Amino acid sequence: MLSRETKHEGRPAPAEVAAHILKRSKLRPTLGLVLGSGFQSVMARCTVVMEVSFVEIPGFANTSVSGHEGRLALAYLAKTPVVVVSGRTHFYEGHSMETVTFPIRVLAALGVRALLLTNAAGGINGRFRRGDFMAVTDHINFMGANPLRGWREPNRFVDLTQAYDPALARLLKKAGAKTKTRLHSGVYLAVSGPSYETPAEIRAFSGLGADAVGMSTVPEAIVARQCGLRVAALSCITNPAAGLGKEPLSHADVLATGDAVKTQAARLLEKFAEFYAETK
């Protein structure tokens, strides 16, 4: 069942949900990780201390997309205490922006200071090849919705001048160099999906300054900034965007590329977690 909730009022307080989760473990995460398509394999490198399925967490909606498992784990990754959201709920599944971003509010309430959002994306920049990675430096919100719409509390006018933390992006680049990953930097443009784009749209997005296109991450980054978290985002370039490759686009193809580079993705995230712990 898809959640049809659109109001903040009908939802439990993130702090209550967080308290409930923290009761089940002594681990106190400092870093949050949201694993998109192609990044699930990092779970195998985590020492999981406590794990809970989305269906057991009030306010969380389960995800219906293959390649996205809905569970939240408290774990150690390279000795860094982390909270991992494995699988995410997407706007294109029919969930409200509030539902999509509720896990971020819970992560903030769990006490994390920084967040790494990961995703699969289509490459628009001509230098990007299938299986490359991109550290997000900025975004363009083309989803036609904003997760803070209707937000009544103070701090609705969130500054996004520097939505993606440059110091965290440097850690990503350092982790990329250490793991010999082809890691670019660039602008992520988010669409609502679930259809892929037309070639005309991709030409337009290219003109707007986008390097990659995807269907997630932006709502979470906006809410994370509202919550005062430092944000990093990492895309796996799973395919050339529409009109730029030889083949038609398919979800199976996106998953296949994600699968082909899953070890690289996991090593990259593990190094990032290690470098993050060293900065504190």
- Residues annotated as part of the active site: 37, 68, 90, 92-93, 120, 215-216, 239, 251
Q: Per CB under 6 A, does 186 bind ligand HPA?
A: no
Q: Is 196 in the site for ligand HPA (CB under 6 A)?
A: yes
DSSP codes, 102-145? HHHHHHHHHT-SEEEEEEEEEE-STT--TT-EEEEEEEEEESS-
Distance CA 72, CA 75 (A): 10
Q: Which of 57, 85, 175, 241 binds ligand HPA (CB under 6 A)?
A: 241
Does position 239 interact with ligand HPA (CB under 6 A)? The reply is: yes
- Cβ(227)–Cβ(104) under 8 Å? yes
Examine residue 143 and tell whether it contacts ligand HPA (CB under 6 A).
no
* Whole-angstrom distance, CA of residue 86 vs CA of residue 103: 11
Q: Please identify, using beta-carbon distances, which residue of 165 and 197 lies nearer to ligand HPA.
A: 197
Residue closer to ligand HPA, measured from CB, 116 or 227: 116
Which are the contacts of 168, defined by CB distance < 8 A and separation ≥ 6?
114, 116, 230, 231, 232, 276
Q: Is 163 one of the binding residues for ligand HPA (CB under 6 A)?
A: no
Q: Does 100 bind ligand HPA (CB under 6 A)?
A: no
Least CB distance from residue 237 to ligand HPA, whole Å? 8
* Cβ contact 243:203 at 8 Å: yes
Place of tokens 């609502």: 192
Residue where the block lists tokens 């490198």: 45
**Closest approach of Cβ 238 to ligand HPA, in Å?**
5
Nearer to ligand HPA, 30 or 64 (CB): 64
CB–CB of 183/136 below 8 Å? Answer: no
The CB density around residue 226, as the number of other CB atoms within 10 Å, is 22
For 196, the token pair is 């892929």
How many residues contact ligand HPA, by CB under 6 A?
13
Tell me which DSSP letter residue 165 carries.
-
Q: Which of 105, 214, 222, 271 touches ligand HPA by CB under 6 A?
A: 214
We find the least distance from the C-beta atom of residue 251 to ligand HPA, in angstroms, to be 8
Rounded CA Rg of the chain: 17
Output the smallest distance, CB 267 to ligand HPA, in A. 21
Single residue of 97, 107, 112, 249 touching ligand HPA by CB under 6 A: 249
CB 67 within 8 A of CB 13: no
- Residue 80: CB minimum distance to ligand HPA, A: 28
Q: Does 215 bind ligand HPA (CB under 6 A)?
A: yes
Beta pairing class for 47-53 and 212-214: unpaired
> Of 109-138, which residues contact ligand HPA (CB under 6 A)?
120-122
Q: How far is the CB of 122 from ligand HPA (least distance, A)?
A: 2
Cβ nearer to ligand HPA, comparing 91 with 275: 91
Footprint on this chain of ligand HPA (rule: CB under 6 A): 120-122, 196-197, 213-215, 238-239, 241, 249, 254
